Structure 1
């Protein structure tokens, strides 16, 4: 919503800058999203002043030029002028040195001190088109004014730079959807009176029969006002009206339509102008449409109406969608001479349903469906009639007809001071409370020591409860007036919804593609011999009516269809492959048929191509393990138990367990299986239990505060039996020290005759850290002593010191 600062000044005295208004309105809840400068003419005549030509004589070296001296108030300057009508004694507009001109045609240019045919010129006497004020270039502008020399030209032409506030209006603040509405907030913020347009001059010049108004649907139209203005001349609006509309982004149409838009954005009351001659029977009927009835709207679209659509009809047919859009047949045209102005209050729900049903969003529906002021229609009709009389030359021939079958009134709200204090977090003095409410048009009906009974005006549809009143008080009193406690607390329950499976899958897919993997999708139908190769034909799920022998069972595993894709690519000389697939597997068990989702990763060939910087590196188990670790960490699974893989499809590998459940298995695919798929190179594979991982970890939010205290590293060299794994070392270390041990890692493994038969040496680093303080040498040594003793006792380790 756009609000013109100059327009606001018609309602309230404002001397604050646009930036100050921006800050004040935003702090009160009307968020200003931007401020736009609107110039009446480009450059706003900056650097242009009124001057007086003191002398004028022909240029000695140019017949068409004149030498002049011009009094600019503070100095007299020489100016060479080419206009044929320049003469001594004239009051003129002078562009001083440094001023920039924005002519009606051509590019802007800046005035500089110059010599023209040998004569010094320190400025320019301007024509109308050179100032951007018109198109005439017949000669310089000669002014009829007594203003002193040096007066800014903008003062003479009454040019005002305007500033437009772009307000992001929230749905609850329908009352502020106009210049009057914003002015009401400024009244409360600055404690200044507002002035509404004077309609005391409204008078019926000659009485004629008014348009008859019949309301058949009072629940949809509680109030309908109308006034007739005859003898209007439809044409362009005066410049002041056009400027007001252009400033807020509206294109002027004609003086009648422009008046309705001006009142809408000025007061917040939508209006509609009918060509009275097109209203059959000289009658207005407000009713619900007949099912299937049609109406051609102003955009020349024929719309099929519903029985829930509130329409404005004449004596025969619908002529407008109430509160939404006018009809084409009754709108104002250049031939219109008699105008009927509609000013009504329509039920918000009715307008909202009609606007949504027909996909129409207009300035009128925007306001009606949020709730307008039911006390404004008659006043707005008078104001519009006076404006129309002024700009279109019409005559008011009827008084305002006010049909008010179902009055909409304000409503009471009870507030208690102790509740206000609790809600606000601060005790606003009671006198200040009363003053704010008065400035907000909220009337105090009754006051006691405990609280107030208030009467809220009907246009404040958002103030219904005690909490709403507290909000109004606080936004005017000022959020910056609240004292902030040194210890902020908030009581609330945050909702942590489960991550959608598709969203989680997308995250993991993004991760895998980022590290060089390509997603594949394979058929759930597969060959029965694949299960036979693993000795699992009893678990196969056969199809009752297979399309072919080759695709007669549902897959038990994603491995073989993935190997088919590898073979297909290898036959086409694509040798370096890293693939992944999310897929479903099916098995027959003693308990019946089961299905589950898995994620499989497959890799073969080189992980890095040969370049001048280094040789190619083949894919290995550790590279695949690194990728699996990234996936599991992304899912929130970190501390996993590692055991040797027992899966029949792997020659060797590891199984990762969580809560005694296998969540991932990775290793080298048996060469007997890969050879059967005509794959000659090594294939590494990882299979993840996608069902369990998404169920277990998708709803967890993992956060940890970063310690402000330094880490400490200590290294140990352990001589162990060859069959002892690093996983055993890790488990013992974690069991021994749970609080301070952040990480441990093997950075060297050695086997040699010097260690003895069946022995090997692990060099292990330990990272220790406390979240609350810096560790002392004594604490570190004590922790390392306990670790060494447990390694010696449980693994028979020899510590190389």
Structure 2
């Protein structure tokens, strides 16, 4: 509520009592050319009104005004300032009074600040401003921080005879940003940052002008207004949708009565209610907001308790959920700690370009302005937090959502990612190995099962980054965090005992084949080693794939046991040695195995120009 009028509205509705509002006189200006004008150049102020008054006599306020000021916990100042403070608490509309003679240019200009611009405010301090904050200017000179606080050099004093009253509607997000970036909180910023009633701008100004005329003998010379009052759109509330959320069915008449507290009911028919929110209800924008107002009106105790009917999946959890839970348990078993971080981050933390980032319309704070497109930012913050506290052995992971804007279509994707640095087992009497690239890669390969490496990829924040695949599907990404990323997140490289390794695990691409029983072998395996000389650019995975694709029934697996480059091999080539495991239903004889070896060697020669190594 943040105003006496707001509290009175609540009591009036829920107590079923009539509401009495202050009588506000519609004052006419005396007219004449005052020489003042208002220019609105900032989108942070959609509607601005002003009133120039002359012949004002600054004095102590009447007792009835003083008593109201004291009851609010404030100290009376003078008749003009006390009237603006009283209306702030009474109607919820902040006002500001300028000494008109201190507006030397005669121009009230509403525009945004430049980077590094300075202003002295009523808190007695000079503030250096960031770019884009809403300012009220005397021509070019800043005289107030819009919606937050007035300037130190333009306020009303005992010598004031001409007053310029300001009443405006500022964008909530803009005022919140100004207050946060200047570390200032005022009664005005509290109200503007939550949204004020735009129709109260004129009413509050008229009430202030009338009271100043009554208590300070002021004459109204001219009114000013720039912009227009923001409009509202009606909201349709469906009875069936209300029932699906609340669990109770409300007739259209009862629903309309319940919602009359939130706005003007325009129609109640065809199973829905169409309602136009009141001007002071800036928080009502979508159908769910109106459902919340309906349950406030009828009372939560009017909803009978009912345990929801649970539907158990016929075959347990979905594969993706089961795989994710198993992976998280395995990470914990491997010594990783789970972390949970916010879904929103500051866009400034994404020092690399993310064109698909989703911006939040009305963020809670500047540090939570976008939906995170990656888990890296928050994980890097956790690593830095630990390193700054002397904990250099960090192994963490997080399972959470990332958000992307895919050509205007918002996409939410589940992700499992982590980071590691330091030692694997720091508190051990054994020599601990570092949690480096190969250690983390080994952990991920154990989790993913069989994986083959693709070519090196370019990944944000990473160098020496690789994607490992299972068939054509990526299973995980792994790489070392770059020095640029370390500097951006204020991680001192000198404090690290090993590089920070970051990984992303694409658990949805892990297949869950049906479990089949395999009887233990009844005959021994026959092992043969095959050494070939092959071109340098041929990868192991290509050779392995070719061997297994021949369909040799008795071949169980092929394992690379040696890789040689040196004087005994022709330049531009390398030697690869495989151990081949053969097993049949019966014990194999040498001639059967030799025939299969010849077949394999011939296929490798045709595909890659491979030759049998002779020495």
Correspondence for 2:141: 317
1:444 to 236, 243, 265: 265
Aligned residue runs from structure 1 range 355-434, under 5 A: 355-398=179-222, 400-404=223-227, 406-434=228-256
The 3 A distance-change label for structure 1 pair 488 and 214 is: same
The answer (yes or no) to whether the contact 2:239–2:250 under 8 Å persists in 1 is: no
Correspondence for 2:126: 302
Once residues 283 and 219 of structure 2 are traced to their aligned partners in structure 1, the CA distance between those partners, rounded to angstroms, is 39
The answer (yes or no) to whether the contact 1:224–1:402 under 8 Å persists in 2 is: yes
1:210 shift after superposition: 6.3
1:205 shift after superposition: 4.9
Correspondence for 2:61: 237
Once residues 86 and 300 of structure 2 are traced to their aligned partners in structure 1, the CA distance between those partners, rounded to angstroms, is 34
The 3 A distance-change label for structure 1 pair 268 and 447 is: same
The 3 A distance-change label for structure 1 pair 484 and 204 is: same
The 3 A distance-change label for structure 1 pair 320 and 583 is: same
1:317 shift after superposition: 0.7
Q: Deviations over 1:642-686 (max 9, x none)?
A: xxxxxxxxxxxxxxxxxxxxxxxxxxxxxxxxxxxxxxxxxxxxx
Secondary structure, in 3 states, of the residue corresponding to 1:281?
coil
Q: Deviations over 1:153-184 (max 9, x none)?
A: xxxxxxxxxxxxxxxxxxxxxxx121111222
Correspondence for 1:470: 291
1:254 shift after superposition: 1.9
Once residues 311 and 320 of structure 1 are traced to their aligned partners in structure 2, the CA distance between those partners, rounded to angstroms, is 6
Secondary structure, in 3 states, of the residue corresponding to 1:384?
helix
Matched, 1:583 2:416: no
**Residues 321-330 or 192-201, more deviating:** 192-201
Secondary structure, in 3 states, of the residue corresponding to 2:168?
strand
Once residues 432 and 59 of structure 2 are traced to their aligned partners in structure 1, the CA distance between those partners, rounded to angstroms, is 84
1:413 shift after superposition: 1.6
Once residues 10 and 249 of structure 2 are traced to their aligned partners in structure 1, the CA distance between those partners, rounded to angstroms, is 22
Q: Deviations over 1:27-80 (max 9, x none)?
A: xxxxxxxxxxxxxxxxxxxxxxxxxxxxxxxxxxxxxxxxxxxxxxxxxxxxxx
Secondary structure, in 3 states, of the residue corresponding to 2:260?
helix
The 3 A distance-change label for structure 1 pair 257 and 502 is: farther
1:432 shift after superposition: 2.8
Correspondence for 1:220: 44
Secondary structure, in 3 states, of the residue corresponding to 1:269?
coil
Aligned residue runs from structure 1 range 74-473, under 5 A: 176-200=1-25, 202-205=27-30, 207=32, 209=34, 211-217=36-42, 219-398=43-222, 400-404=223-227, 406-440=228-262, 442-473=263-294
Aligned residue runs from structure 1 range 764-779, under 5 A: none
Correspondence for 1:482: 303
The answer (yes or no) to whether the contact 2:25–2:210 under 8 Å persists in 1 is: no
Secondary structure, in 3 states, of the residue corresponding to 1:397?
strand
Question: Runs of 5+ in structure 1 lacking a partner?
Answer: 1-175, 505-523, 525-554, 558-581, 596-801
Correspondence for 1:105: none
Q: Deviations over 1:410-464 (max 9, x none)?
A: 1222211111122222233432322333343x12334332212222234322222
Once residues 337 and 85 of structure 2 are traced to their aligned partners in structure 1, the CA distance between those partners, rounded to angstroms, is 49
Once residues 411 and 423 of structure 1 are traced to their aligned partners in structure 2, the CA distance between those partners, rounded to angstroms, is 23
1:208 shift after superposition: 5.3
The answer (yes or no) to whether the contact 1:587–1:594 under 8 Å persists in 2 is: no
The 3 A distance-change label for structure 1 pair 447 and 360 is: same
The answer (yes or no) to whether the contact 2:253–2:268 under 8 Å persists in 1 is: no
Q: CA RMSD in A?
A: 3.6
1:468 shift after superposition: 1.2
The 3 A distance-change label for structure 1 pair 594 and 482 is: closer
The 3 A distance-change label for structure 1 pair 198 and 490 is: farther
Decide which structure has the larger Cα Rg and report it. 1
